Structure 1
């Protein structure tokens, strides 16, 4: 049985004009996936378009309440970690710096399997900025997350093989 996202009321899929999910079976351990997702320095290696992640409250790994700036979906974004259950789930919510009225909530659930783990990522987006980008390229966010999952799986698998 898979976990479910703990959506903030205002960001629930039923209230969001943009909502998408992506999932992938990965032959890498939960621990390896978790270590990549929660390490600021790892993101540019697997997250499409990310060049940096700048923590705003110190530290070098994500935790509950961590605030950070990065560049997601071609946008400079301010975000904070709103769900954090080690080895199981992480989610952040935020907005592009050019439009504080546009919001996004991106959650991950990691479930162990016999051959590694199952990754589930789900995102909701609201506001004029995200809607305009979606009009220009309707599948851009979903396709970016498909690439994100493939990249993350490839790096996690390679990391485990190099240790093995």
Structure 2
């Protein structure tokens, strides 16, 4: 079963052959964006390729230490929440079930802005499984996260519109 590792230290960009960031201004409150990120039932509505998220610790939402299984990058993965600062930062680390030696670490930072929030995400990946996938499509992970941010912004903005927020903010 999945065991927590010192992910932030082990997965720093300087030690990871795959590292990328994506960012977007979102016309939705940090609270709205946060509510989507911590709600496993919401992920399929914005996370490309995700069909399910199963929490393994009896929680109903993500929190520090929550272990979960999902399907990311076409792979069934184990992961756990490694960082958790409500409305500000969440990060999880994990690995594909088929390739435990290949690790990934995905962090989100939400910063309030006058028109909503700035959403920034960073991922580091290590191990032969991810490296082989990257060889076939070097920018596939980055492009997928661009789609992820756009879809998350759309859902968050729609939720915000129902409570009186404004539309998307250009980057």
Q: Point out where structure 2 has 5 or more consecutive residues left out of the alignment.
A: 1-5, 165-171
Deviation at 1:99, TM superposition (A): 0.4
What residue in structure 1 maps to residue 48 of structure 2? Answer: 48
Distance 1:122 1:146 in 2: 11
Q: Is the 8 A contact 2:24 2:118 kept in 1?
A: yes
* 1:97-133 Cα deviation digits (max 9, x unpaired): 0100000000000000000000000000000000010
* 1:9-50 Cα deviation digits (max 9, x unpaired): 111000000000000000000000000000010000000000
SS in 2 for 1:44: helix
Q: Point out where structure 1 has 5 or more consecutive residues left out of the alignment.
A: 1-5
Runs of 4+ in 1 over 3 A off after TM superposition: none
| TM-score normalised according to structure 2 size | 0.91
Distance 1:62 1:75 in 2: 20
Distance 1:16 1:67 in 2: 23
SS in 2 for 1:99: coil
| TM-score normalised according to structure 1 size | 0.95
What residue in structure 2 maps to residue 3 of structure 1? Answer: none
Between the two proteins, the alignment pairs up a number of residues equal to 159
What residue in structure 1 maps to residue 140 of structure 2? Answer: 140
